[in-house]
Amino acid sequence: MLIRLPSGIDQAPSSGTAIYKLTIQPESATNGGYTIEAAAAPIAQDAMQDDTCDTFIIDATGAKTNRTSTLLDAAQSARCWTGRS
């Protein structure tokens, strides 16, 4: 179940044209309390629409992954996160 964020904090950047839509997933057995997803895919015709990293995922444990139509492997995700915090 995704948690919808209030308008204004549901996108990045928080003002102007959204590049990513943000959602939060509640605690699971493995995520340490929450997971934040930044998805470029739902935003049509934006600067990130052809980004092969697609959805960036970080959880409370600090685990960073990416998902396109499937979850990317560790090496692919590491390349996506290089240079990003």
pLDDT tens digits for 27-64? 899 999 999 998 875 555 556 656 778 889 999 999 99
Q: How much is the pLDDT for 50?
A: 64
- pTM comes to 0.76
pLDDT for residue 67: 86
> Shortest CA distance to 39 belongs to which of 18, 62, 15?
18
Q: What are phi and psi of 12, to 5 degrees?
A: -130, 130
Please tell me the predicted confidence (pLDDT) of residue 71.
83
Q: Could you tell me which residues come within 8 angstroms of residue 47 by beta carbon, excluding any fewer than 6 positions away?
A: 19
Determine contact, residues 11/31, Cβ cutoff 8 Å. no
- State both tokens at 21: 């839509």
| Residue (of 3, 57, 10, 54) closest to 30 by Cα position | 57
> Using CA atoms, how far apart are residues 74 and 44, in angstroms rounded to an integer?
27
Note the pLDDT of residue 69.
Answer: 79
Rounded to whole angstroms, the maximal C-alpha distance in the chain is: 36
